[in-house]
Amino acid sequence: MSMRKEFLPFSRPSITEADIAAVGEVLRSGWITTGSKNAQFEEKFCKYTGCTGAVALSSATAGMHLALKALKIGKGDEVITPSMTWVSTVNLIVLSGATPVFVDIDRDTLMVTADLIQEHLSANTRLIIPVHFAGAPVDMAPVRKLAQGRNIAIIEDAAHAIGTEYHGEKIGKNDTSIFSFHPIKNITSGEGGMFCSDDLDLVDQIRRLKFHGLGVDAFDRRTQGRSPQAQVLEPGFKYNLPDILAVLGIQQLARVEDFNDKRTQLAMHYRERLTEVEELRPLAVPAYSHKHSWHLFIVRLDIEKSKLSQNDFMEELKKKNIGTGLHFRAVHRQKYYMETMKIPSGILPNTEWNSERICSLPLFPGMTHEDVDDVIDTIKDILKS
Ligand SMILES: *Cc1c(COP(=O)(O)O)cnc(C)c1O
């Protein structure tokens, strides 16, 4: 079989001339940092997801940092989160002085369940951070029930879940949720994030903390910047999103449904063709009512049958001009966390099993069905030889 001429990246943002023009317009306007485009982005985000309040930020990581701060998470507190997540969450928990408590995941959806979480609840549990994975939603109803009776907060990591629905409602509508607009996510603002909550006091606090702790009022949100008289109400950070980026977010949000439809079509094509490849197993889609946003297309390699390691498999694909991703190496298998937390192997069996086998195949709206065929044909070639 002949090799692809052009490298197929694992992800590529969809940027149009109209996106570029919109950014250019902000650049020419005389106001390029946080201002009216941020306010518009937040309003449109609330309208789209159904959340009550939203704050645009420089990243999802910034949002998680501010959320931990606002909830006063610190020394002596335990935060339950999967080890199968992006490492930023765990870094922030550790930096806050609190203790991360890793919960295992369902072997075939890579998501936490209420049953798994329950085993880790203690008198010190203050917060649960479930991660919606690859575009599918966590089964939140039983998780909410667990937390409610115990006065435990929930922050949903929704970095993969813009447009994802759970029982007919968009992620973001319930609970406090944090979205990411990093370039590989379903929509991008270059870099950026959105903090969403229906707790408006919390939303106001995040709005303060993202900009030095300066007080804001309703008027400020509709004008460019804050009044020069604004006072520091508590020490804060500088995690605001410039309007240059917010306008790109607005542009992309208008196309999110199209992006997700295209992703879904490509994912269905992958699933169909994967029936020809015994050595690869896609993730299972949840049995409960949901709408998938297909952020990632993850397969698990049968390392015993194929006699290939995950790394070899990814390297072989790269040699054949096909990019892949790894979402994620389990956090407790990262050097620092191995040395400091010393979690014995076998405690998080499904996390570890997947950590050694997962691979994200190329998936982005600008891809074609022929590209999907190329990926599958190339994989079949690699596994044959
Ligand atoms: C991308 C990602 C983040 C971090 O998002 P940033 O905007 O890059 O800070 C957090 N959690 C998960 C699961 C992610 O995939």
Q: What is the CATH number of the domain that holds 200?
A: 3.40.640.10
Residue 150, number of CB atoms within 10 A of its CB: 11
What's this model's pTM, rounded to 2 decimal places? 0.97
Task: Take atom 11 of ligand 1 and give the residue whose Cα is closest.
Answer: 86
Q: How far is the CA of 173 from the centre of ligand 1 (A)?
A: 19
Q: How far apart are CA 361 and CA 364, in angstroms?
A: 10
Q: How far is the CA of 159 from the centre of ligand 1 (A)?
A: 5
Instruction: Identify the domain containing residue 364 by its residue range.
Output: 256-384
Q: What is the CA radius of gyration of the chain?
A: 21
Q: How far apart are CA 188 and CA 182, in angstroms?
A: 6
Residue 296 in any domain: the answer is yes
Of 253, 275, 294, the one marking the end of a domain is 253
Residue 312 in any domain: the answer is yes
Which residues carry out catalysis? 185
Q: How far apart are CA 241 and CA 368, in angstroms?
A: 33
- Does residue 156 sit in the same domain as residue 90? yes
pLDDT at residue 149 in the model: 84
Task: Take atom 6 of ligand 1 and give the residue whose Cα is closest.
Answer: 60
pLDDT at residue 3 in the model: 82
| Ligand 1 lined by 156 (C-beta under 6 Å) | no
Q: How far apart are CA 231 and CA 2, in angstroms?
A: 65
- Does residue 207 sit in the same domain as residue 272? no
Domain count, the chain: 2
Of 220, 253, 286, the one marking the end of a domain is 253
Which atom of ligand 1 is nearest to 160's Cα? Answer: 15
SS3 303: helix
Q: How far is CA 3 from CA 9, 259, 292, 318, 373, in A?
A: 15, 28, 32, 11, 12
- Does residue 172 sit in the same domain as residue 300? no
Q: How far is the CA of 276 from the centre of ligand 1 (A)?
A: 33
Which atom of ligand 1 is nearest to 133's Cα? Answer: 13
Residue 25, number of CB atoms within 10 A of its CB: 11
User: DSSP characters for 94-138?
Assistant: HHTT-EEEEE---TTT----HHHHHTT--TTEEEE--B--BTBPP
Residue 261 in any domain: the answer is yes
327 alpha carbon, distance to own chain's centre: 10
SS3 194: strand
Find residue 153's DSSP bridge partners: 127
pLDDT at residue 175 in the model: 85
Residue 366: closest CA among 9, 4, 22, 3: 9
| Ligand 1 lined by 182 (C-beta under 6 Å) | yes
| Token pair 């079989």: residue | 1
pLDDT at residue 2 in the model: 64
Q: Do 200 and 60 touch, CB atoms closer than 8 A?
A: no
Of 253, 270, 286, the one marking the end of a domain is 253
- Does residue 249 sit in the same domain as residue 260? no
Residue 314, number of CB atoms within 10 A of its CB: 20
- Does residue 59 sit in the same domain as residue 113? yes
For 205, the token pair is: 């606090």
Residue 6 in any domain: the answer is no
Q: How far apart are CA 171 and CA 107, in angstroms?
A: 22
Q: How far is the CA of 261 from the centre of ligand 1 (A)?
A: 22
| Ligand 1 lined by 92 (C-beta under 6 Å) | no
Q: Ligand 1, from 61, 129, 185: best to mutate by most atoms within 8 Å of Cβ?
A: 61
Q: How far is the CA of 26 from the centre of ligand 1 (A)?
A: 26
Residue 144 in any domain: the answer is yes
- Does residue 243 sit in the same domain as residue 263? no
Residue 5 in any domain: the answer is no
Residue 286 in any domain: the answer is yes
Q: How far apart are CA 228 and CA 231, in angstroms?
A: 9
Q: Ligand 1, from 86, 92, 112, 196: best to mutate by most atoms within 8 Å of Cβ?
A: 86
Q: What is the mean pLDDT of each run of 10 residues along the chain (385 residues)?
A: 87 98 97 94 98 97 98 98 98 98 98 98 98 98 95 97 98 95 98 97 95 72 63 94 97 98 98 97 98 98 96 98 97 97 95 97 98 98 93
